[in-house]
Every structure is written in structure tokens, then in C-alpha cells.
Amino acid sequence: MKRLALVVIGVAALASAGTLAQTPAPAAAGVPTFARDVAPIMYKKCANCHRPGEVAPMTLLSYDDARPWAKAIKAKVVAREMPPWGADMTQSLPMRNDVSLSQTEIDTIAAWVDGGAARGNTADMPPAPKFASGWSFGTREPDAVLEMPVEFDIPAEGEVGVQMFYSKVPWSEDRFAEVVELHPSNRSVLHHAGIYFVDIPEGSTLVDGRIVGPDGRIIGDRGSRGLPSTDSGLPGSSKLLSWVPGRGLDIHRPDIGKRIPAGKYVNWQMHYNPTGTPQKDRTKLGIWFNQVPVTHEVLIRQAGDPLATTKGGLSIYRAEGSETEYVADPSSTRRSRTTPNIPPYAENWKLTGITPVTEDITLYAMSPHMHLRGKSLKWVVTYPDGREQVILNVPRFDFNWQFNYELAEPLKIPAGSKITGIGVYDNSVRNKWNPGPHLPVYWSEQSWDEMYQPFTEYSVDSQDLTVLKPIGSQKQ
């Protein structure tokens, strides 16, 4: 939630160090120009955030937009701070949403700045990218938009527990989404959010987005865990997506979708942070339906939880410094409450989640979530023959930039394998984000507490949904 302020401060500091003159000389022969060389890079790797209404502090859609920031842009890309991308691609599988710059792209931008940051021939300019208004995904509007049932008032100060809101899924048959995007109206106050599907108790009603039981009392009230999520289809289908700084857009495959179940209720789990002044938020959810028949549904669990397969199975957590194994309840998606707290001044404290793969699955994406002591997170697959493969390594986890890393090609993982998520935490004075290295760290929602959530998106190979008809792009 502090991402915007950090970007503004960093870029402003660089710009104040000396921006190039506003009217550059024509480019020398062979020197990159904005129109021919730099604009294609910015349109592909930068414009999604650097455009009006998005998180970046300035737009980069034209030469006039980019020119005043030339030196700052060079400094950021040479340091590999922009575009932000946490994965070490030398130790990870290729990702289809990799926004990091190649060395050639970095060299091109640096040479453009060093050569005078020339505009170039306007005839060389590529067409500017088009975006759907108010959405990060694509060039068309969502097929359906659901909105949080009420606008919520965030107080200026204090601790605000997770807020639970509920709304009815507004269609009469299950539908599948190829793309889902959660879009807050006020990013500055949203710490994280999650969308789940639940059943509400018989006899209860919805009043201003809250569930009121037959006795008039609120059920699943704010600050609580709310109602337990309930699956449709395979276990693990009840989570739709998460929003954290850096992510909130999940793009699945054309024939692989996320089930949005009829008859269920959308549980909007919203965690807000006061910022010193009263604020408001009313988040909305954009949905783009699959356009072709869906063969498998996307399931979401985290490394260390039982996989959502037809055969179940146990999972194991190991904490550094203890020989105890923490075995998860196969009916639960939550880490054992007995996991020890992170000790004071611990610089490399590890928590490892191990999930046996009980039947063949296909892996599509991974998303690390930790808090201020989070240092690194790595996924490793161990195959039945003992071979190990690192599939994602995020060596410098950044709370301000969290991503859903989408594999360029789906990964088949056979039964008898295991998925291991290795999380490392830094509760020492070396961690500049650490609010209290002298204190033990507990497991909870607040930023000064910690979380271990190495989410994985996958499907079960034995599932066959080909009897479904394509849903099309019917607007709701």
C-alpha cells in the first residue's frame, strides 16, 4: 500500500539530480531514438502501469511524457528496479507475464538517454497501446462487473480488522472465467483482499452487505474470519483471486477457467490500513468469460496445504530450529496454529511447506505472499525418481511489489511428486522494513505480523469438463 509513495519519492529524487534539457539535439547516426527504439519497449513493458488512472506517478505514452524523466528512467532500468519483477529468471522456469527488461532493452534505453534523448522521426512511432478504461486487462470491457455491495469508510487511525462483505452470484448456472481482475477504488488504503465463494446459513438475509441471521444478529461480521468458503466442483475451487500490491489480475488459459458458481455468495474479504485521514473504498470485480469449451477448472492452494485433488492427502510444515513436523488437516486450507513464532533478531528463519501430489496435476502459476519480514520464497518440485526442479525463485521478496508468476508453458507434475515452498524471513536489524526486530513475530493479517502463503494455481488432469458449452461474452 506504500508502493505509490515509494515510487514517487524514488523517481523524484532521481529527477532532481538533474533532468536533461527539454529540447534535445537531433540524434546522431546510430543513436537510439524514442520513436524508433524506446517507445516499443515502453509500450510493451511500462505502459500498463504508466498511464492515466493507474498506479505509476507519471505516464509514458508519448515522447513529451517520457522526456522530462529521461535520466530517472535510465537510473531505474539500469538498476533493474523498473519494471519491478521479483523472480530470478536464471533459477525459474520461463514466465509468460515476465515484464523484466532484457539486457539489450536496458542498453537501448541507456544509449537513448546518453545520446541526448532524441524524439526521432514521428513516422517511426508505433501505435499507442489501447486499454479498457479502468481495467488493467486487454482492450475490451469485462463481460460482467460485480461490485462490493457497499462503500466502506476507513477511519483515519487505529487497527481495522478484515472486513467481510457478501453479495449473491447473479446468475443461475455455473460459469467459468478466463480472466478476473479486482479493482479497488482506493488503492492507498487496501492492504490485501481476497474473493471467495460461500454458502450463507438457512434463514439468513443480506443487509448492507452483511449476513443477518434469523435472530437478527450479524453472521461472519467484520474483523472475523467470516463464513468458511465452500467449494463447487473439486475441493479448492472456492477461492477466485487475491489482490495485493502488484497483483489482482489473473489470466488463465483459453480452455482453462475459474469456476464462478451459481447459488453461492461472493465473500469480499477486505483488509484496510488507515492512512491518517478518513478514506472510502468500493472495490469492483471484472470478469471475462472463457470463449471456448472449458476442459479443466483452476484450483488454488498453497505449497504446504493438501492439494485439492480427488484423492486428498496430508501436507507437512517444517520450521527452522525445530524437529517437529506440522501436519495439516486434509480438510483445511490453513496452516497449523502450532507453527512457532519467528524469534527476535532471527535473520534467516525458514518455514517450509511440503505437499505430496497424490494424482497427476498441471501447474499454471505461483504467487508469493509474505509481510515485512518476508525475505525470499522458492518453489521446488521433487519428482518420483528423486529429481528436483526449481520452478520459481523469488530471492528478494518485496512487500510493495507482489506478483502472480504465470508459467509460459503449463507444467505437468505426476502423482508421487511433491511440491515444496521454502520461505525465509528476516527479523533482524538488517531488514530496513522491520518495525521491531527485538520482538517475536506472530502469524496474523496485520503487516507487522507475518504470513506464509506460497499460492499455486493448477488443475487436476483427470477432470473432464468438455461437456460444457462455451459461455461466450454475454454481459450481465
**DSSP state for residue 64 in the 8-state scheme:** H
The residue out of 297, 326, 349 marking a domain boundary is 297
| Per-residue pLDDT, 371 | 92
Using CA atoms, how far residue 4 sits from 49, 138, 237, 249, in Å, is 11, 23, 33, 18
Whether residue 206 is found in the same domain as residue 262: yes
Cβ contact 149:195 at 8 Å? no
Whether residue 213 is found in the same domain as residue 246: yes
Whether residue 329 is found in the same domain as residue 286: no
| Per-residue pLDDT, 464 | 85
Cβ contact 212:206 at 8 Å? yes
Q: What is the pLDDT of residues 144-185, one digit of tens each?
A: 999 999 999 999 998 888 899 999 999 999 999 999 999 999
Cβ contact 294:255 at 8 Å? yes
pLDDT in tens, the chain (476 residues): 344 343 433 444 444 443 444 445 555 668 999 999 999 999 999 988 898 877 788 999 999 999 999 999 999 999 999 999 999 999 999 999 999 999 999 999 999 999 999 999 999 999 988 887 778 887 788 999 999 999 999 999 988 888 999 999 999 999 999 999 999 999 888 988 999 999 888 889 999 999 998 888 888 765 545 676 676 667 678 899 999 887 889 999 999 999 999 999 999 999 998 989 999 999 999 999 999 999 999 998 877 665 555 555 545 556 665 444 444 433 333 444 567 889 999 999 999 888 889 899 999 999 998 999 999 999 999 999 999 999 999 999 998 888 999 999 999 999 999 999 999 999 999 999 999 999 999 988 778 898 888 889 999 999 888 754 444 433 33
Whether residue 286 is found in the same domain as residue 322: no
SS3 174: coil
Whether residue 328 is found in the same domain as residue 457: yes
Q: For residue 215, what are the contacts with CB-CB under 8 A and spacing of at least 6?
A: none
Whether residue 100 is found in the same domain as residue 144: no
Whether residue 462 is found in the same domain as residue 332: yes
405: domain range?
Answer: 299-466
**DSSP state for residue 17 in the 8-state scheme:** T
Considering the domain boundaries, does residue 474 fall inside one? no
CATH code for the domain in which residue 158 is found: 2.60.120
Whether residue 147 is found in the same domain as residue 251: yes
DSSP string for 259-298: EE-TT-EEEEEEEE---SS-EEE--EEEEEE-SS---EE-
Whether residue 182 is found in the same domain as residue 195: yes
Considering the domain boundaries, does residue 63 fall inside one? yes
Distance from C-alpha of 78 to C-alpha of 100, rounded to nearest angstrom = 11
SS3 181: strand
For the beta carbon of residue 438, count every other beta carbon within 10 angstroms.
9
Whether residue 378 is found in the same domain as residue 392: yes
Considering the domain boundaries, does residue 476 fall inside one? no
Specify the number of domains making up the chain.
Answer: 3
The residue out of 247, 280, 297 marking a domain boundary is 297
Cβ contact 349:343 at 8 Å? yes
Whether residue 284 is found in the same domain as residue 404: no
Using CA atoms, how far residue 332 sits from 307, 308, 314, 315, in Å, is 10, 10, 10, 10
Considering the domain boundaries, does residue 475 fall inside one? no
Whether residue 119 is found in the same domain as residue 149: no
